[in-house]
Structure formats: C-alpha cells, structure tokens
Chains A and B, each alone.
Chain A
C-alpha cells in the first residue's frame, strides 16, 4: 500500500502516478482530498485506490479496470463515462453520478443526487439510498438499481437502460413505464446487489424501462 498526500503533492502528480502505475504496486491510498476535482481520473490498470475523504467533481472519471473507493462523499460526475472497473462511494454522491458510463460498476452506499446515470450507456449503478430528479435521463443501456426512493421524472426519454427501484418513484419521465419483473431481471438484480455488497431483497423492487414510444418521430400518415 502506497500513500499519496494530495494536498502536499498535487493533483497532476497523483494522476500521472496512477496512470503510469501497473504491475505490483496496485494498492494506493489518497489522503487529504479536501473536495478536489478530477481525482484518480483516466486510470487504465487493475489498481486499488482508496480516497480517504470527500472529493469534488469527476472523481474516477473515465475509469478503466481500476477499483476506486471513496471513504466520503463525492461531488458531481463521479465515475463519469466509466468504461470498466469498480467505483465505490461510501457516502453520498452529487449530481450526474455515473453519467454516460459505458461499463463497470458504480456503487453509491448513500444517496445520489439528481441525474444519476444520465445518458448511461452500459454502466451498472447501485445506489443504497435515494436518487434525485431526472435520474437515468436518456439512459441507453446498463442497469440503475435504487434501494431507496427515486425523485421526479425517473427515466425521462429513456432508451434501453433497465431501472430497478425498491421504494417510491415520485414521478416517471416521458416514455418511462413500469415493466414486468421477469426471472431474468430478478437474477440480474440479485447479481448486482451481491456485487455491490448491499443487502436488499430483490423481490421488493419494481422494474422500469422504455415504452419505446419516442423512438420515432410521429408523422401523421392519414393523408
């Protein structure tokens, strides 16, 4: 385990070090994050990075392969455009968590704010608490699991992302509907909860997805 003091040694050094790291030195601890932005971004190796404290915008942005844990809260856009790997947030996440993520697993143990999983493209997101308004807006692919409640306009203009919510949904967005929970969905949900290490009963969740009515511009063909 190596320790990097962000306050003392600066952001550029941290990211350059982690981006170059591979092989044996896979365990890293980042201390004094103090809400800084762009911590541990652009990683592309099977590292294990723990950030001891809360972060600003875009923590673990565009992550590939690495496991990044944040022992604190994260600012906007955690794990944005993640491709693979795992990002675990012990506290809460601000808006845009997992935005446009293509793959990997994002676990938020607390609550996520608005637009969680916006334009998600294959990422799996598991939120232990609630998500804010406009979550999974234009979600294209992947899974968003919400163990608490969802805010307004869940899944607005959604494409093929699959949403599972245990608690209440304040309102559904345009073209998002409740869907049947079939065996394969229960299996997938069970797998995601297990991977996320969150204890919740899959049978208590409801599934939401696209009604696919916005897929084509409506033209009046009556003439």
Chain B
C-alpha cells in the first residue's frame, strides 16, 4: 500500500527542476508510505552512452568498481557514488557485458536499473530522508516517477522498495495488493525470469519484462496484465520516452492526473499535485479502470 507520484514534462524549461518538483510531490505522500521510498529519473541522453544504477549495503563496496569493470569490458567506465547507490556510465554496447561482470566480480552489488538514461534510487526510510540522501532535488530530466511504500506482506528492505526495473529504461511502481503473485512468481521462474524478493510488485515487473521479451510492446504487456494479474493495483510505468498508467478493473486504489501545456502529472492524492505550477487551471481527472494510458515525448 503506497503513494505514487509521476511527472512528465512537456516544457523543457522545467527540466532543470524535475528532481525538485518530484521530491516535493514525493514528500506529500509520506503518510501513504512511511517505510521506504524510491524514485526513477530519466535524464539526458548521451550519444552512445548507457547507465547502470547500482546499489550496495555500504558505499565502500563501490571502491575501484569502475576501473575493474572498465578493464573487464575493455572500455572507459565512469562512476558516480551517491550514498548506497552508484551510477556507472559506459558505452551502450558494453552494457550487457558490464552487467555480467558485476554479477561475477561483485555479487553483493545489485543492479537497480539499466538503460540509456534511467537512474533509480530507493532506500528504506521516510521519503524526505531518502530524497535527501540521494540529493534527488538536484536531478534533472524530462520525466520521472516516485513511490512511497507502506509494506503489506513482504519485508521493508531496499530491494523491496519501488520502482522495480522491468527492462532497459523501464520501471514500475504499484499501489495495491496482488492476489496471485505467488503462482505467477513460480510460473515466471519456470520461464527463467528471476524474481529476487517476496514483493508482489516485483512479480508484476518481472511479468512485464517477460511479456516484452516475447516481443510484446509495453502497452501490450500491460493489456495482457489485465487478464493475468489478479488483485488491486494502480501501476505507473516509466519508459525512456514517458510514462504509462493502468488501474485494475475494480479501481479502488486512488489515482489523480493533472495536465497543462507544461506537464502531465500523476498523484495517488491531489495533495501531491498542489505545488505544481498552474495546477489551479490544470485539467484534473482520474484514469478509467482497465484502461492503459501513455504519455510520451
């Protein structure tokens, strides 16, 4: 059970303020999710470059990582450490080799996200504290989604926090509670899709990954989810170009959208949107049940 925020900027002049605006939205959702918080931000595309966001229990675990991985994949790898996370920048064609090298050489380090521009930060703690640790207000970009978590049945851990990565430059956050995630987790395991936690949302993320590996678009994967995912959910998915929203057919979990010429915004509650510029005159509405929405650049 949780709070979700999302912001998709149409107006480029707002891009330097993305992190600041998302942080403000995220903090308003602290009551809905005091256990952990996370944020996915889509920054600037650097030609031929890709990013890996990594997480470790201790920042010291990142020491010498960039050099080691760079040597291993034969390319220049840059590293920026922020608290328990590190963002590696490397040539796009070395991304998969780098992931394998990290898995082999540094098994204690987890990959939070991978892609051209996505960065995911998530940790246990109040949203405000988490945002501060990772200096989220300073982040810039074209869009991002955030999540505050009130854990239901799985542990309050960093890995249990949202967003969950669903593939290159993709991620998922969720408010609700799935009722068939255990059977689905077993089915996905048979398909070779790894799910690390007992979290229901990670299963939904893995399900989308699996569907897309089979050649479905994200929209098609979400449509398929309507049949295969049982329970209550409002999902927000981040993509390289924008974000999407899907509510279950019963649609009890809250969702508010606002749109102006400058942005499209999502909040679990209207409170999350009140500081956005021009919100007084925005078109404010609620997404329909069982309907896939997308906004992209």
- Which A residues are within 8 Å of any B CB, using their own CB? 34-37, 53-57, 73, 75-76, 91-92, 94-95, 111, 113-114, 132-133, 151
Specify which of A53, A56, A151 is in contact with B269 (CB 8 Å cutoff): A56
B103 within 8 A of A: no
The 10 A-B pairs of least Cβ separation, nearest first, read: A35-B271, A35-B270, A34-B274, A113-B286, A35-B274, A75-B270, A56-B271, A54-B270, A73-B284, A56-B269
Are A132 and B274 interface neighbours, CB within 8 A? Answer: no
A94-B256 contact in complex given A35-B273, A36-B271, C-beta closer than 8 Å: yes
Are A94 and B254 interface neighbours, CB within 8 A? Answer: yes
CB distance from B46 to the nearest CB of A (A): 38
In the assembled complex, 6 residue pairs joining A and B whose CB atoms fall closer than 8 Å, in A order, are A53-B280, A54-B284, A91-B284, A92-B284, A114-B251, A133-B251
B295 within 8 A of A: no
CB proximity to A under 8 Å, residues B252-294: 252, 254, 256, 269-274, 280, 284-286, 288-289
- Which B residues are within 8 Å of any A CB, using their own CB? 28, 251-252, 254, 256, 269-274, 280, 284-286, 288-289
User: A residues within 8 A CB of B269?
Assistant: 35, 56-57, 75
Residue of B nearest to A36 (CB): B271
Are B254 and A73 interface neighbours, CB within 8 A? Answer: no
Residue of A nearest to B279 (CB): A54
Are B273 and A94 interface neighbours, CB within 8 A? Answer: no
Residue of A nearest to B269 (CB): A56
User: B residues within 8 A CB of A111?
Assistant: 285
CB distance from A76 to the nearest CB of B (A): 6
CB distance from A112 to the nearest CB of B (A): 10
User: A residues within 8 A CB of B284?
Assistant: 54, 73, 91-92
CA distance A57 to B271 in the complex (A): 10
CA distance A217 to B286 in the complex (A): 36
Are B254 and A76 interface neighbours, CB within 8 A? Answer: yes
User: B residues within 8 A CB of A95?
Assistant: 251-252, 254, 286
